[in-house]
Structure 1
Amino acid sequence: MPVRLKKFIGTIVIIVLVTLYALLATTIAVGFLGESSGWVHLAYFFFTGFLWIIPAMVVIKWMETPPRRERR
């Protein structure tokens, strides 16, 4: 697969990932942390703020791998 196509697909995947992850994390926070203290909210959003990096790193690593050479 050409590098430019991989980067385009990876960019779209990361945008979708971040959007869905933010919606999910916020929905969970509203559902379970409504009556919690500010420190619990801070800890939750600190943790979830860094957690999305793991799948994004996998996508970026895939985007940066060079294309395989085709056998002729």
Structure 2
Amino acid sequence: MPVRLKKFIGTILMILLVVVYAVLATAYASLHLAEASGWIHLVYFFFTGILWVVPAMFLIRWMETGPKR
């Protein structure tokens, strides 16, 4: 697969990943953490804010690999 096509597909997937992840994390917090204290919200959003980096890291690594010979 050409590198330009991989980067285009990866960019679209990255945007979808961030949007879907943000919606799901916020929906979960709204449903399950509505009555929790501010500290629980702070810890939850800190970890969920960092957690999306893991799949993004694998996606970026895939985007940067060259074509197979």
Q: Residue type matched to 1:32 in 2?
A: H
1:12 pairs with 2:15: no
Q: Specify the alignment match of 2:35 in structure 1.
A: 35
TM value normalised by structure 2 = 0.98
- RMSD of aligned alpha carbons: 0.4
Of the two, which has the highest radius of gyration? 1
SS of residue matched to 1:67: coil
Give structure 1 regions of 4+ aligned residues with deviation exceeding 6 angstroms.
Answer: none
Question: Which consecutive residues of structure 1, in runs of 5 or more, have no partner in the other structure?
Answer: none
TM-score, normalisation: structure 1: 0.94
Corresponding position: 1:49 with 2:49: yes
What is the CA-CA distance between 1:29 and the residue it aligns to?
0.2
Hey, what does 2:68 align to over in structure 1? 68
Shift of 1:46: 0.1
